[in-house]
Amino acid sequence: MQLTLWTYEGPPHVGAMRVATAMTDVHYVLHAPQGDTYADLLFTMIERLPRRPPVTYTTFQARDLGGDTAELFKDAARQAMARFNPAAMLVGSSCTAELIQDDPGGLAQALQLTIPVVPLELPSYQRKENWGASETFYQLCHHLVHKPAADKPAKVRPTCNILGPSALGFRHRDDVKEITQLLNQLGVDVAVVAPLSASVADVQKLAEADFNVVLYPEIGLAAAQWLQRQFDQPYTKTVPLGSHATRDFIAEVCTLTGLPQPAQDPSNAHAHWYAKSVDSTYLTGKRVYIFGDATHVVAAARIASQEMGFEVVGLGTYSREFAREVRDCAKRYGVEALITDDYLEVETQINALQPELILGTQMERHIAKRQGIPCAVISAPVHVQDFPARYAPQMGFEGANVLFDTWVHPLMMGLEEHLIGMFREDFEFHAGAAPSHLGSTRPAAETARPPSSDTPVMATPTAIELPIPAASNQATWSTEAEKELGKIPFFVRGKARRNTERFAQDLGVATITVETLYDAKAHFSR
C-alpha cells in the first residue's frame, strides 16, 4: 500500500458515505475503528454541511480485537435503528475492519430489522472512492427499485431521472439546478434526482420515468445500465459540459423523447463575444494540460480545443475505471493519456510538457503554484474554497459561462502582469507619475509642491522618445541607429536603449550603429 501526502480518492467506504450523506433517510452503519472516523470532516468542513453525515461507527479499539467484535457491530446497528429511524440501512466495513473478516451483511440480516438492509462489499485494497459511490448507488437501486405498474397513467410531458450527483461532488448541486431548468425548458419533467436529495421512496420509483440523465458516469452509469437491462429504460450518453456538449445533449434528449428541437438556440452563453475581440488572439494556441476525474477531463479537452482555441498538450485521470474512455479522448488530440493516482507522476509530466495553463484538481493547483503556471480547478478533489457560496454550475449554458471565466481569468492576469512589465519603463508609467485615471487631480509625489513664479514651465512630454545625451563613459548613437530605435514600440523602447548601451559599454564600442542595436537584441534574447 503506497502512502502519499495527498490522494485523489479516498477508500471506497468514503464513496458509500457520499451516497448516504446525499440522501435524506438512509443510514450507514460502518464497522470501523476509531481512527477511520476522520471522514466526518470531509462533509462537515469541506462541503460545509450543517449536520454530521448519517454514519454510525462501531469504533472498536485494539483491546476489542481479542473479544467479539461482531457483537459490537450488532449493538451499533440496533442503536442506529432506534436513534435515527432510517427508511433503509447500509452496512459495511472500512479498510481496517475488513482485515478482521466480520460479515456486516450477515450480522445485520440476523438482526431481522424492519427496514431494507443493503450490504456493501467494498474491497478497500483494490478499489477507490468513486467506485465505492457507484457500487453503493447500484446496490441501493438493485435492492429498492420497484417494477413500474403495467397500467400507469399516461403522462402529459415526458419524465426523466437525473443520476449521479452526490455529496462532496464538484458543483453537483448547482449542476442539478441548471440541468433541471434546461430540461424543463425542453418540455421534460424531472421525476427524481438521485442520490443527491433523494429519499428511499424516490429510489423505489426510479423505473417509472421515461429515461435517465447520467450527469456523472463515475457514480451514476452502473445504476443507469442496470435500469436499462431490467426495465428497458434508456439513458443519455452526453454530459452537458460546455456549449457544444450542451447542444448535443439537447439533441439527444429530443431524440429520446420525440420532442421537437428548439426553434431558437436556448443558449445563454456570453463568452462568444470574446472571440470577436482583439484580446482573443492572446488565448489562441495556449498550451493546456488537463487532469482530474474522467467526466471533467474528457469534457474539458473538448471545450479547450473547440471552444477556447487552446492546444491540448497532455491529459490524464485518476479514474482507472474510465481509462479506456480517457485514452480514446487523448488520441483525438494526439497525446498520450496518463492514468495514475500518484500526483508526483502528474507533476513530472507537467514539468516535461511546460504548459501555459493547467486545468486540474487541488493537487494540480499546488503544482502550478510551485511552477508559476496559471491554473483552474475543474474537478474533485477540492478544497473548501472550491465550494462557492454563489451559484456556479459547470454544466449547461450558464456553466459554459462559468468555465470561461474560471479558465480565462488566470491567463488574463498573466497578460496584465506582462503588460505592466512592458509599460513599467515608459515615462508615464513609473512610481512617481501622477495617476492617469479620468477625473484624478492628485499630483505626483515629485511635483506635489506648486512651482515658483520663476520656475520655467515645461511642455508635457509625448509618446515620442527624444534622444538622451550620453554620459561621458557611454557610447553615442549614430543617426541611423536612433532612427532604427524609433521603430521599436514606445513602451519597450527605453529598455531596448538601456540594454543596447550596456552591451556597447561591455564591448567597449564608442558609437552605436544599427548593427550594434541588433547584436544587442540577439544577445539579450538568448
Neighbouring residues of 403: CB distance < 8 A, sequence distance ≥ 6:
241, 242, 303, 378, 394
Q: Which is more confidently placed, 484 or 224?
A: 224
Instruction: Please say which residue of 389, 421, 453 terminates a domain.
Output: 421
The lowest-confidence range among 382-386, 419-423, 492-496 is: 419-423
Distance CA 307, CA 111 (A): 57
Residue 416 in this model has a pLDDT that exceeds 80: no
CATH number at residue 201: 3.40.50.1980
Instruction: Clarify whether residues 279 and 226 are in a common domain.
Output: no
Residue 151 in this model has a pLDDT that exceeds 60: yes
Mean pLDDT for the stretch of residues 271-284: 68
Instruction: Clarify whether residues 180 and 280 are in a common domain.
Output: no
Instruction: Clarify whether residues 333 and 389 are in a common domain.
Output: yes
| Residue 243: predicted pLDDT | 92
Tally of structural domains, the chain: 4
Give percent above pLDDT 70 in the chain.
81
Picking from 491, 483, 480, 486, the residue whose alpha carbon sits closest to that of residue 513 is 480
Mean pLDDT for the stretch of residues 297-316: 95
Assess whether 68 carries a catalytic annotation. Answer: no
Instruction: Please say which residue of 257, 290, 322 terminates a domain.
Output: 257
Asked, for residue 302, whether it belongs to a domain, the answer is yes
Instruction: Clarify whether residues 284 and 386 are in a common domain.
Output: yes
Mean pLDDT for the stretch of residues 27-51: 79
| Structural domain span for residue 196 | 159-257
Picking from 212, 223, 403, the residue whose alpha carbon sits closest to that of residue 301 is 403
Mean pLDDT for the stretch of residues 455-482: 59
Instruction: Clarify whether residues 94 and 194 are in a common domain.
Output: no
Instruction: Clarify whether residues 492 and 392 are in a common domain.
Output: no
* Average pLDDT of the chain to the nearest whole number: 84
Distance CA 247, CA 179 (A): 12
Residue 438 in this model has a pLDDT that exceeds 70: no
Instruction: Clarify whether residues 173 and 238 are in a common domain.
Output: yes
| Residue 467: predicted pLDDT | 46
pLDDT (tens digit, 9 = 90+) per residue, 331-348? 999 999 999 999 999 999
pLDDT (tens digit, 9 = 90+) per residue, 112-121? 899 999 999 9
Instruction: Clarify whether residues 93 and 226 are in a common domain.
Output: no
Asked, for residue 451, whether it belongs to a domain, the answer is no
Task: Given the residues 68, 75, 265, 279, select the one marked as catalytic.
Answer: 279
Instruction: Clarify whether residues 102 and 168 are in a common domain.
Output: no
pLDDT (tens digit, 9 = 90+) per residue, 495-523? 788 889 989 998 989 999 999 988 888 88
Instruction: Clarify whether residues 276 and 399 are in a common domain.
Output: yes
pTM comes to 0.78
Residue 439 in this model has a pLDDT that exceeds 70: no
- What 3-state class would DSSP assign to 85? coil
Asked, for residue 141, whether it belongs to a domain, the answer is no
Single-letter amino acid code for the residue at 462: T
Mean pLDDT for the stretch of residues 210-219: 97
Give percent above pLDDT 90 in the chain.
56
Asked, for residue 517, whether it belongs to a domain, the answer is yes
CATH number at residue 493: 1.10.8.550
| Residue 413: predicted pLDDT | 66
pLDDT (tens digit, 9 = 90+) per residue, 370-394? 988 999 999 999 887 788 888 999 9
Beta strands in 353-456 (DSSP E): 357-360, 375-377
Instruction: Please say which residue of 89, 114, 129 terminates a domain.
Output: 129
Distance CA 235, CA 488 (A): 60
Instruction: Clarify whether residues 283 and 239 are in a common domain.
Output: no
Bridge partners (DSSP) of residue 33 are 60
| Residue 341: predicted pLDDT | 93
